[in-house]
């Protein structure tokens, strides 16, 4: 979030109902109240270099300057 990785676990979580929800915690009714600008899904864990490339791409796309 905000340029920080919240996780990069290669394990895919099991969804008992077969349905995955974006913007709500499992079993919770507190839905996200806002916009989601992008959702990126990859078939494998990204390397540090690949993650940096994604950060640069998104920064250029949304006109954001990366720091740090």
Task: Calculate ∠ Cα 24-57-21, nearest 5°.
Answer: 15
Assign 5 a pLDDT band (cuts: 50, 70, 90).
Answer: low
Boundaries of domain holding 53? 1-68
Backbone angles phi, psi at 54, to 5 degrees: -65, -45
Assign 50 a pLDDT band (cuts: 50, 70, 90).
Answer: very high
How many domains does one find in the chain? 1
Q: Which residues of 30-49 are buried (b: 16+ CB within 10 A; e: fewer)?
A: eeeeeeeeeeeeeeeeeeee
The residue that leads in pLDDT, 9 or 49, is: 49
User: Count of CB atoms within 10 A of residue 68's CB?
Assistant: 4
Indicate the SS3 state at residue 5.
coil
């Amino acid at each position: 979030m905000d340029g920080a990785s919240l996780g990069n676990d290669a394990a895919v979580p099991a969804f008992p109902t077969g349905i995955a929800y974006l913007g709500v915690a499992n079993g919770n009714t507190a839905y996200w109240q806002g916009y989601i600008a992008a959702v990126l899904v990859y078939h494998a864990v990204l390397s540090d270099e690949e993650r940096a490339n994604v950060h640069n791409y998104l920064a250029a796309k949304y006109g954001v300057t990366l720091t740090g």
